[in-house]
Structure 1
Amino acid sequence: MPESVIVTSALPYANGEIHLGHIASTYLPADIFTRFSRLKGREAYHICASDDFGTPILIKAEKEGKKPEEYVAHWNRRDFEDFSALGISFDLFYRTSSPENVRFVQYVFEKLKRNGHIYEQDVVQFYCEYDDKFLPDRYVVGKCPFCGAENQYSDLCEKCGRVPDEILEPKCAICGRPPVKKKSTHYFFKLSNFSAKLKDWLVKNENLQPDVKNYVINWIDEGLQEWDITRDLSWGVPIPGTTGKAFYGWFDNHLCYISTMKKLIDEKGRDGKKFWNDSEIYHYIGKDIVYHHYLFLPAMRLGIDEEYKLPDYIPTRGHLMLQNQKISKSRNWYIGLRQFIEAFPPDYLRFYMASIVTYSQDDLNFDFDGFAERINNELIANVGNFVNRALSFTSKQFGGKVPAAGELDSDDKAAIEMIRASVRGVEELLSANQTDRALKKIMELSTHFNQYFQKKKPWSEKQMAGTTLYVSVNAARSLAILLEPFIPFSCEKIWAQLNLPGSVHGQSWDSAAELKVDAGHQLGAVEPIFRKIEAKEIEQQKTKLGVK
């Protein structure tokens, strides 16, 4: 396993707030894995950027009387603030409009062109006579030619995940009128040049989810379409040697993974390109952008002679439903991240999401009642209960000093072995991106210690109380480290109450298997870490959403 790991999250479009749907499939699983990797002692970096270009942004900026640069700068700042409030620990949150990315995109284009993978062709393109403009993909809606789904964008069917070669029954998304067709000269990327190499990479890469790569292989077998990478657009990465043309967003945005990472490492006085190629690479995505990440992205890297290595993993997850309905900003059926963490502690959202997010393309459901039940009955009644009992009992009965252990009995030995086994088991699951199962195993450890504490009765079994509390305080330390990737804010509170040096974020994962809190250690001030979610709070949130 390489000592360094690069984690990327799909880029949020810079035209609106981050909502709960964004968090579940991409940002939280990526952050949990990055935090775990850091605790394991790997040099791990989590990078992302706002996706700044495209017609929707240009139009929204015009409506608000802003320059597009000002508009995307606002959302870049806002998104970073919201991610930070949730504890998403980006090492660099950059932007696709950065000078570094613009230069890199143009460099990749020129190299692809030199290598014979780019050609020019006149195309007949949709043009809205009413709005007097060529219509890029997101401004043409119609019926998918593959599955027949209505009201789909011309560059992506959200129902079947395919990229239509030509949308049926097209309409202008701005005015709703049928567009006409006009001729325009475009650049195309010869995606079909890479059919054999893409298939070979997919077959040989055992790290990719089998169900995802199998249907991508089916797409290759059916024949790949050449990819139009040009847009008649003023707001985008300019295409060298042209006027009024920019690259299609999906040509430039995932190149920002590389340009952002390279900037981060270069500024440390190291070789960013070498670091990329020497590292293990993870691209975290939702299932709606499989086509782009399993075909376009690797093909482009192949086309520049694998100057930058292909990803080792592409963790792909399903969408989040809200109260069993598809999230939709246009129907106002969503919950903004900022709104949510103003109502509840950010770790509550992290814990709940981590517990329901499977490593699959299955869709998930956020349910307010399920959220409250999971927090109150698992996080608080299990983890919070054990940690508070162990530390508060030590404070009250031993003046906050950890007592010395006597002779260990079978229950003590079993409890200590449970810690060691759990550290190994959770590590295996997090290494395999099984986030929900890893959290479940940690909860089993906490459950075991609640039972251990109850069985050992330190309040009445005075002779054994010292041993029980010594083991329990050490278990609380282990839980703080194991849970740090999931609920980092709360684990820092546990660390402070344990009065241990440094931060929980800087600990060694392997040390969680050891009893490191010595007898005689003085605990800090102990108080409950979590607060219960009241029924009225849930009812208030449901009312805001319009749920009866």
Structure 2
Amino acid sequence: MSKSAPKRRMITSALPYANGPIHLGHIAGAYLPADIHVRHLRSTGEDVLWICGSDEHGAAITLRAKKEGTTPREIVDLYHEEMQKAFTGLDISFDHYSRTSSPKHHQVAQEFFRTLMEKGGFEVKTEEQFFDEEAQQFLADRYIQGTCPSCGHDGAYGDQCEKCGKTLSPTELVNPKSTLSGSTPVLKPTTLWYLPMGRHEAWLREYIVEGKLDGQPHHDPKTWKAHVLGQCRSWIEGGLESRAMTRDLDWGVPVPVEGAEGKVLYVWLDAPIGYITATMEWCEARGQDWKDWWQDPNAELLHFIGKDNIVFHCIIFPILLKEHGGYNLPTNVPANEFMNLEGDKISTSRNWAVWVTEYLEDFPEGSDAMRYVLTAIMPEQKDSEFTWSDFRDKVNNELADVLGNFVNRVLVLTKKYYGGEVPAAPAPEHLTDTDRALLDALAAAPDKIGGLIQRHRYKEAQLEAMNVARLGNKYLTEQEPWKLQKTDPERTATIMHLTCQVVGNCAVLLEPFLPQTAAKLAAACGLADARWADAQPDMVQPGTTLEELPILFAKIDDDTVA
């Protein structure tokens, strides 16, 4: 499929619910892969904008507020700040982080709703919904629990079963109970606005299966992950049903229709529009036009999410964008699977999770270590598992013993032999086959690693980036310059020159994965402004004085992770 490269790349990560802290599963799912991707794009000079923000509406937030005897506003304000601390602590480098409870977002979301309504994009229907007579409230989404009709899990919610991931409606639950009072709800009529998704099946099928939009090539579906395509096909082939886009709640974006008091926009109409609001905010602060990112055909839209959000980003949000008109649709949605913890599914309700802020309290210098481990086990195609023993082993055996040890040896030996100055480059005729093989590997690494990143193969990309350090470490160990310094100083200089080049290349090639470590290496090698294209076999200039560095990665003992 021939399609010119985009001028701008609009990147989004799923808006995290502001009803609880961020755990490692969140990071591995939608934020770390996007950060790696965006860091590489920035380093290659691409025009990229990455936005995110707190999703501050929905039943889960109001339910938590009721249980804790506080207000939704106090809940979202608390977690809006805490989530940003978690992201900052792991060097997640959003260009802009917004929030959906802002007046700006309410205005944008309401205008979007009005446009859809004016275009006949909704069906207004009065239907029976569950109602809690004790609490005197309609029960939307998380206000109701029961048995999942698909897997039999007893704790399924009215919008989704968290065990099997199936998207549900409250009336599908077996033995439903109100989460407010514990009572059995009754059915009571209410008027809601529905999105008639069935109208859109034909073009959605072409868009998902063939990568075409309005009969024209839009994206290559072969680049989409199999589980994303599979879930989308399953929804479409099963027949898309109308879905309510409003809720009977008192917290959220009010439905902008006369007589609709006590009704708000459904969170999955409200939240993705938050991407647009965040872009507007970023552009307004810089005098740019937000439409260049969302409505220009030369811009590309990419969503990073977890697999539980596939249907919303691949089916519902594209319907909303197309029905509104004028918006770009995503060219890829590289959703990750789930990450488990020590043999069990991560559960916020059971407090079975590694909370990022707590991890950073225990490991205040541990951003790169955790990023490395999470990338190494990233659930790109299937569920993965985090264990503390694996964390310890990867930090000790790979980061400390390979990368840290190699860099330390190069800096120490360069200091000892040459006062810290990078020795002169060897004449080509003095290079051995082993030297040339190392140089060839350095020359090939940027394209290999970059290609893997752009194909969303982050585990493999990080492995290849670390392989550069492994090659340097192996080369240094086998060449043994400490045995040659007195008898063959010219050969020693060649070895040390080449290993200095490896360290310099690591400063660039590891930056998407280990930004703090890469910055230290870049500063040590005089490469503070180096970009991806600068990664070359001769990037570190002879005569450069290498700065000393402390130990890059301290080893973790068994007691620390027990």
Q: CA deviation at 1:128?
A: 1.0
Q: Deviations over 1:483-513 (max 9, x none)?
A: 1111111111222222x153xxx53112112
Q: CA deviation at 1:176?
A: 2.2
Residue in structure 1 matched with residue 561 of structure 2 by the alignment: 538
Residue in structure 1 matched with residue 388 of structure 2 by the alignment: 368
Match of 1:111 among 108, 115, 118: 115
In the alignment, the residues of structure 2 paired with residue 74 and residue 160 of structure 1 have an alpha-carbon distance, to the nearest angstrom, of: 30
Residue in structure 2 matched with residue 410 of structure 1 by the alignment: 433
Is 1:517 aligned to 2:546, yes or no? no
Is 1:201 aligned to 2:222, yes or no? no
Question: Structure 1 residue runs of 4+, over 4 Å off?
Answer: 62-67
User: 1:310-389 residue pairs with structure 2 within 5 A?
Assistant: 310-344=329-363, 345-360=366-381, 362-389=382-409
Residue in structure 1 matched with residue 458 of structure 2 by the alignment: 435
Q: Which moved more, 1:40-49 or 1:145-154?
A: 145-154
Change (3 A) 1:215 1:13: closer
Q: Deviations over 1:407-451 (max 9, x none)?
A: 322222111111111222111101101000011112222211111
Q: CA RMSD in A?
A: 1.6
Is 1:217 aligned to 2:233, yes or no? yes
In the alignment, the residues of structure 1 paired with residue 441 and residue 470 of structure 2 have an alpha-carbon distance, to the nearest angstrom, of: 11
User: 1:15-414 residue pairs with structure 2 within 5 A?
Assistant: 15-61=19-65, 66-165=70-169, 166-205=172-211, 206=221, 207-241=223-257, 242-276=260-294, 277=296, 278-305=298-325, 307-344=326-363, 345-360=366-381, 362-406=382-426, 407-414=430-437
Residues 358 and 436 in structure 1, CA contact (< 8 A), matched pair in contact too: no
Q: Deviations over 1:308-363 (max 9, x none)?
A: 11111101111111101011122121121011122221111100000111421x11
Amino acid at match of 2:28: A
In the alignment, the residues of structure 1 paired with residue 70 and residue 379 of structure 2 have an alpha-carbon distance, to the nearest angstrom, of: 41
In the alignment, the residues of structure 1 paired with residue 76 and residue 358 of structure 2 have an alpha-carbon distance, to the nearest angstrom, of: 21
Residue in structure 1 matched with residue 218 of structure 2 by the alignment: none
Amino acid at match of 2:268: W
Residue in structure 2 matched with residue 497 of structure 1 by the alignment: 524
Is 1:445 aligned to 2:461, yes or no? no
Q: CA deviation at 1:64?
A: 5.2
Q: CA deviation at 1:67?
A: 4.2
In the alignment, the residues of structure 1 paired with residue 393 and residue 226 of structure 2 have an alpha-carbon distance, to the nearest angstrom, of: 34
Is 1:3 aligned to 2:7, yes or no? yes
Change (3 A) 1:319 1:100: same
Amino acid at match of 2:267: G
Change (3 A) 1:57 1:159: closer
SS in 1 for 2:176: strand
Residues 55 and 136 in structure 1, CA contact (< 8 A), matched pair in contact too: yes
Q: Which moved more, 1:32-41 or 1:512-521?
A: 512-521
Amino acid at match of 1:347: D
Q: Deviations over 1:99-120 (max 9, x none)?
A: 2321221122111112212121
Residues 298 and 310 in structure 1, CA contact (< 8 A), matched pair in contact too: yes
Q: Which moved more, 1:2-11 or 1:381-390?
A: 2-11
Amino acid at match of 1:487: L
Number of residue equivalences? 533
Residue in structure 2 matched with residue 479 of structure 1 by the alignment: 506
Residues 339 and 379 in structure 2, CA contact (< 8 A), matched pair in contact too: no
Residues 480 and 494 in structure 1, CA contact (< 8 A), matched pair in contact too: yes
Residues 161 and 289 in structure 1, CA contact (< 8 A), matched pair in contact too: no
Residues 89 and 367 in structure 2, CA contact (< 8 A), matched pair in contact too: yes
Q: Which moved more, 1:388-397 or 1:403-412?
A: 403-412
In the alignment, the residues of structure 2 paired with residue 215 and residue 57 of structure 1 have an alpha-carbon distance, to the nearest angstrom, of: 27
In the alignment, the residues of structure 2 paired with residue 224 and residue 274 of structure 1 have an alpha-carbon distance, to the nearest angstrom, of: 32
SS in 2 for 1:427: helix
Residue in structure 2 matched with residue 546 of structure 1 by the alignment: none
Q: CA deviation at 1:274?
A: 2.0
In the alignment, the residues of structure 2 paired with residue 80 and residue 215 of structure 1 have an alpha-carbon distance, to the nearest angstrom, of: 31
Residues 265 and 275 in structure 1, CA contact (< 8 A), matched pair in contact too: no
SS in 1 for 2:481: coil
SS in 2 for 1:513: coil
Residues 162 and 291 in structure 1, CA contact (< 8 A), matched pair in contact too: no
In the alignment, the residues of structure 1 paired with residue 281 and residue 210 of structure 2 have an alpha-carbon distance, to the nearest angstrom, of: 31
Change (3 A) 1:178 1:64: closer
In the alignment, the residues of structure 2 paired with residue 510 and residue 111 of structure 1 have an alpha-carbon distance, to the nearest angstrom, of: 45
Residues 141 and 171 in structure 1, CA contact (< 8 A), matched pair in contact too: yes
SS in 2 for 1:127: strand
Residue in structure 2 matched with residue 459 of structure 1 by the alignment: 482
Amino acid at match of 1:167: L
In the alignment, the residues of structure 1 paired with residue 16 and residue 345 of structure 2 have an alpha-carbon distance, to the nearest angstrom, of: 19
Identity %: 35
In the alignment, the residues of structure 2 paired with residue 161 and residue 70 of structure 1 have an alpha-carbon distance, to the nearest angstrom, of: 29
**Gaps in structure 2 of 5+ consecutive residues:** 212-220
SS in 1 for 2:305: strand
Residue in structure 1 matched with residue 216 of structure 2 by the alignment: none
Amino acid at match of 1:252: D
TM, length-normalised to structure 2 = 0.92
In the alignment, the residues of structure 1 paired with residue 330 and residue 236 of structure 2 have an alpha-carbon distance, to the nearest angstrom, of: 19
In the alignment, the residues of structure 2 paired with residue 507 and residue 397 of structure 1 have an alpha-carbon distance, to the nearest angstrom, of: 26
In the alignment, the residues of structure 1 paired with residue 25 and residue 264 of structure 2 have an alpha-carbon distance, to the nearest angstrom, of: 30
In the alignment, the residues of structure 2 paired with residue 275 and residue 7 of structure 1 have an alpha-carbon distance, to the nearest angstrom, of: 10
TM, length-normalised to structure 1 = 0.94
Q: Which moved more, 1:82-91 or 1:449-458?
A: 449-458
Residue in structure 2 matched with residue 544 of structure 1 by the alignment: none
Change (3 A) 1:358 1:421: farther
Q: CA deviation at 1:153?
A: 1.0
Residues 358 and 434 in structure 1, CA contact (< 8 A), matched pair in contact too: no
Q: CA deviation at 1:62?
A: 5.0
Residues 170 and 179 in structure 1, CA contact (< 8 A), matched pair in contact too: yes
Q: Which moved more, 1:271-280 or 1:241-250?
A: 271-280
Residues 504 and 527 in structure 2, CA contact (< 8 A), matched pair in contact too: no
In the alignment, the residues of structure 2 paired with residue 10 and residue 240 of structure 1 have an alpha-carbon distance, to the nearest angstrom, of: 25
Q: CA deviation at 1:173?
A: 1.7
